[in-house]
Amino acid sequence: MFPAAVLYLLFPAVIFLLGFSHWPTVVSGACGATLSIALLARNSGDESAFYGRDWLTILAISLLAVFLSGIAPPLGQNSDWQKHYALFNLLVDQPWPPKVQLDDGTYSLRYPLAWYVVPALVGKAIGKWSVSYASFVWTAAGLFVALRIAFRDAKSWKEQSSACAIFLLFSGADIVGYAITQYRFGPIFHIEWWAGFAESPANVTSLLWTPQHAIPAWIGAALFLRYPKRSVRNGMTIAAAIAAWSPFVLIGMAPVVIIALTKTGIKQALTIQNVGAAILLFIPIFWLLSQGATSLPMAAGWIDRYFTVPIFFLFLLLEFWILGACIVRANRSVAVPVVTCLVFLTALSLTRVGFYNDLMMRGGIPALSVLAVHSAETILGKSWRWTWPLAAFLIVGAVNPIGEIVRGFIEPRIKSNDTITIQQAAFNNPELFPQYLVKAN
């Protein structure tokens, strides 16, 4: 499963690089991809992949979860799909890189587009009507890869089903925070902004709103968690690929990489594939994404108008501290990775990067996925005497993701999605345009 997972991340990243770069960068990307794939195939690895006969269980769960997210008809969609459709429309309707005409001139699309390019190519080939369905298949495939690696050691289809359900419904106790503050930002049942200054998303929320961040985060975290040696030896290939999906997620991979390095040692990272991928893939992708970029809004978290010391510590407790304590109480063997993730998430909570504190929301997904995987392992593998506090906490937390799913049954789908523009997606707010556009040469 390791080569398939890396190729899933790498394939659209290379398409993005080739489609949006000048020819020297194209040559570099092609060479880097060839080298990475060749060395990936050559390395048989020391961790065995999971090829059980129960893979259909995880496939069925992946298809159901993505269906409930509303990517394909008929269920409703949240407001982030305005942006998704705007980007798909640009990619399908125009040559790459697409151009956008604004009042002050012509702009080029500059955004991490790895999740978008495969469905967009399908749309170019057979029509824009197919984009939603191609996105459904593409996202379900990524979720399948992530869950299969994360729970490769499950002993039966029942254990697989339970582990996947715990992972997907994993959430902090947002309902408790919301009951205290009575603050909500966004549509009905979207209560994760109860603290006002930050959001720590449930896994279902990430899938429903931002699959372009969730899928690479879950696959990347699963790779370093289950295949630490192979992942460290191919770390720059994975990093370059994830950068083209989501730079925020790439930053958020830090604690997961640290956890892997504690198992393998730093020497395992000194490989020809890492050097080659850094020069031929990571640097060109970083250069492409940074061209003409303006700095994102950055500030200390406590400057936010909603930040107070009591709410900050309540946020930490309800979102991950109590959860982490429950995991470690029942399963001391995972204390190091759990504490590492808690420290990282706490540090993120003290920052504010992006227009909507995006680094906290998206950069925290890999660490949260590690906590979700260890929660599932602990509940299914340890005595109920020790795991009941963890199970009780997750049951309370599940109110939030269940609400997110229910909203899809009561709210309509986005209409006329094939005509949505990037201006509409950014609510005609010029301050948001630099997230997507750069002045054309």
Q: 284 with 32: CB under 8 angstroms?
A: yes
Question: What is the per-residue pLDDT for 354?
Answer: 76
How many domains does the chain fold into? Answer: 1
Helix (H) or strand (E) holding 106: strand 105-109
Task: Please state whether the peptide bond connecting residue 97 to the residue before it is cis, i.e. omega within 30 degrees of 0.
Answer: yes
**Alpha-carbon span 169 to 161, nearest angstrom:** 12
Q: Are 409 and 76 in contact, with CB atoms under 8 Å apart?
A: yes
Paired strand residues for 437: 109
To the nearest 10 degrees (0 to 180), the angle between helices 211-226 and 114-126 is 120
User: How far apart are alpha carbons 222 and 72 in whole angstroms?
Assistant: 26
Tokens 């900050």: give the residue: 312
Domain of residue 388 covers: 2-439
Angstrom CA distances, 233 to 35, 197, 269, 272, 380, stand at 14, 38, 5, 9, 31
How much is the pLDDT for 119?
96
Q: For 378, what's the count of Cα atoms within 13 Å in the CB-facing half-sphere?
A: 29
The pLDDT value given to residue 355: 74
Residues 6+ apart with CB under 8 A from 207: 65, 66, 69, 139, 143, 168, 214
Question: What is the per-residue pLDDT for 310?
Answer: 94
List the chain pLDDT tens, one digit each, 441 residues: 888 899 999 999 989 988 887 655 555 556 656 656 655 655 555 444 444 556 888 999 999 999 999 898 899 888 888 889 999 999 999 998 888 887 777 888 888 999 999 999 999 999 999 999 999 999 999 999 999 999 988 888 888 899 999 999 999 999 999 999 999 888 888 899 999 988 999 999 999 999 999 999 999 999 999 999 999 999 999 999 999 999 999 999 999 999 999 999 999 988 888 888 888 888 888 888 887 656 667 778 788 888 899 999 999 999 999 999 999 999 999 999 999 999 999 999 998 887 778 889 999 999 999 999 999 999 998 888 899 999 999 999 999 999 999 998 988 888 888 888 887 776 656 666 777 777 776
Identify whether 74 is preceded by a cis peptide bond (ω within 30 of 0).
yes
**pLDDT value of residue 302:** 84
H-assigned helices in 169-304: 174-181, 203-209, 211-226, 228-233, 235-245, 247-252, 254-264, 272-277, 283-290
Do 36 and 10 touch, CB atoms closer than 8 A?
A: yes
**For residue 204, what are the contacts with CB-CB under 8 A and spacing of at least 6?**
65, 69, 168, 169, 171, 401, 404, 405
Q: What angle do CA 142, 206, 328 make, to 5 degrees?
A: 95
